[in-house]
Amino acid sequence: MKRTPDKKQYHFYISNAPPGTRLSTFVWLSGIRWAIGQCFEETKTELGLDHYEVRKYPGWNHHILTCMLAHFFLWHLRIRLGKKSSAYYSVTT
């Protein structure tokens, strides 16, 4: 359970982890969950991850893989350019 004091909100998580799992592991996992969701949201918004109409698995798999690789490339480029870039994905062609 995670509590946000200023908003009086509670978030609950269910896990099947072994009984000896440390609380710090659960905290880390709840934080990494946000990063994964952010990655999917950026990929849907900027690269069209959600624009494919599924017909067959190989085509869907290719589309997902291509979008994720493009997102990784642009993320890496954004880090390398640092604050020189005015937008997240300012790549000149």
Range of the domain at 12: 2-84
Domain contains 93:
no
Tens of pLDDT, residue by residue over 14-73, are 888 898 999 888 888 877 878 888 888 888 988 888 888 878 999 989 999 999 999 999
User: In this structure, is residue 47 part of a structural domain?
Assistant: yes
Cβ contact 71:39 at 8 Å: yes
- The number of distinct structural domains making up the chain is 1
* 90 within domain boundaries: no
Predicted local confidence at residue 65, as pLDDT: 93
Please give the Cα distance from 89 to 9 (Å, whole number): 34
Q: Is residue 20 part of a domain?
A: yes
Residue 91 lies in a domain: no
82: confidence class by pLDDT, cuts 50, 70, 90? confident
pLDDT computed for residue 36 by the predictor:
83
Whether 16 is covered by a domain: the verdict is yes
On whether the CB atoms of residues 13 and 26 are closer than 8 A, the answer is yes
